[in-house]
Amino acid sequence: MKLKIWLISVVIINTFSSCDDGDLIVTSFDFEDQTLQICGGENALVFFKINNDAQESIALNIASTSDIFLQEEIEDIELSTTNFVTYRKYNGDIDASYFCSSVPPTSPQVNSEYLAESGTVAIDNTLILDDDDGVPEEEELGNNEDEPMDTDGDGIPDYYDADDDGDNVPTRLELFENETDEENGIYKDTDGDGIPDYLDDDDDGDGILTRNESTDGDIDPLNDINDESSGIPDFLNANVAIPGFEIEEYILHSVNRNASISIVLFNLVLVNADETIVQESLSLGAISDVLNDTIILAPEFQ
C-alpha cells in the first residue's frame, strides 16, 4: 500500500463580482510550494497552509477527531458552518501557532478574510495496519486483498495479527529454527506436517492444541516445560501431551497504525464583502504519518 501524494498544480479560475459595477478583477493566491500542516483539538481538526511571502493562509476546519484517519475510505465532506475553509491576508507573518494555540495571537491582524460559501472536501487516506511479526505483508494478505486471510478466525486478518494461528505464541517467536533458516526464508515446522508453526495451532502434532499446553495457570505456552531434561517447552515436545486443560483466552495483540492523507477541495467558492473566488479544484497537499501509533488489541475468544 503505497503512499499516494497528489501534487496538483494550483490553477486559479477567478470569477469576480464586484459589489457595485461587476468589473472583473483578477485575484491570485499561491500555496503550491507551502507545506500542509495540521492541528487537532478535541472536536475539530484544522489543516492549514501559510505563505508568508504574500502573508496569507488557507485553512480547512473539519468537525472530526483523528479517528477519521482510521477509516480506509473517508467520504467526501460538504463545506458547512462546521466544516469550513478560510482564506486570510495579514499585515505581518504568521506561524503554526496562529492555528494551533488555544488562544490565537492578537497580532498580526487580518487585513481581509474570505469564507467558503460552498465546496467539497475530498480526503484520500492511506491507512496501514501492521503486526511487525516478520512475515511479509503480501504473504499474509493471501490472494484476495478484499478478503484477507484470518487463519485463527479471531476477526483480525493475518497481516496485522501478531499471533496468526491463535495459539498464544506470538508469530515472530514461531518463525525460524535458526539464523540460517531465517536467511533462507525457511519457516519452522516442528511436526513436519507441512504447516509452518506460526500457522499451526498444534505445533508438535501431539493432539493437544498449543494453546492448551499452558498448564501452569497463565496463558503462555512458552514457559511450560515438564520435561526438564530436554528443556523443550511442552507445546514443541510431542512426548509431553497433558490433556484436560482448556485455555479460552487470547494473548494481547500489538498493532502499529500509520495513516497518510492528501486533500483536494472541489468547487470551492470563497467570498468576502467585495469579491468571490471560485476554484474548481484546489490541492491542499499531503501529510505523511498524520497518524502513527501502536495500540493493543484484545481479541475475543470464540
Q: CB 213: neighbour CB atoms within 10 A? A: 28
Question: Nearest distance from residue 107's CB to Ca ion, in Å?
Answer: 54
Binding range to Ca ion, per CB under 5 A, among 60-68, 113-121, 131-139, 222-230: 131-139
Per DSSP bridges, beta strands 77-78 and 276-297 are: unpaired
Closest CB to Ca ion belongs to which residue?
161
Which of residues 189 and 218 has its CB atom nearest to Ca ion in the complex?
189
* Residue 131 makes contact with Ca ion by CB under 5 A: yes
Q: How many residues bind Ca ion (CB under 5 A)?
A: 19
Binding letters toward Ca ion, positions 153-182, x by CB under 5 A: -x-x-x--x--xx-x---x-----------
Q: Can you point out the beta strands (E) in the chain?
A: 37-40, 45-51, 56-62, 77-78, 84-90, 110-130, 253-271, 276-297
Question: Nearest distance from residue 94's CB to Ca ion, in Å?
Answer: 46
Which of residues 40 and 205 has its CB atom nearest to Ca ion in the complex?
205
Q: How many residues does the chain have?
A: 302
* Residue 56 makes contact with Ca ion by CB under 5 A: no
183: left (phi over 0), alpha (psi -120 to 50) or beta: alpha
State which of residues 36, 45, 48, 206 lies at the interface with Ca ion (CB under 5 A). Answer: 206
* Residue 204 makes contact with Ca ion by CB under 5 A: yes
Q: Would you say 177 and 146 are in contact if contact means Cβ atoms under 8 Å apart?
A: no
Residues 6+ apart with CB under 8 A from 197: 169, 174, 175, 187, 188, 189, 190, 203
The amino acid sitting at 262 is: S
Question: Nearest distance from residue 149's CB to Ca ion, in Å?
Answer: 8
Which of residues 47 and 235 has its CB atom nearest to Ca ion in the complex?
235
* Residue 150 makes contact with Ca ion by CB under 5 A: yes
CA distance linking residue 258 with residue 136, whole number of Å: 17
Q: Would you say 204 and 227 are in contact if contact means Cβ atoms under 8 Å apart?
A: no
CA distance linking residue 161 with residue 254, whole number of Å: 8
Q: Would you say 108 and 91 are in contact if contact means Cβ atoms under 8 Å apart?
A: yes
Question: Nearest distance from residue 205's CB to Ca ion, in Å?
Answer: 7
Question: Nearest distance from residue 85's CB to Ca ion, in Å?
Answer: 41
CA angle 75, 76, 82 (to 5 degrees): 105
State which of residues 57, 62, 152, 279 lies at the interface with Ca ion (CB under 5 A). Answer: 152
* Residue 224 makes contact with Ca ion by CB under 5 A: no
Contacts to Ca ion by CB under 5 A: 131, 133, 150, 152, 154, 156, 158, 161, 164-165, 167, 171, 197, 200, 202-204, 206, 208
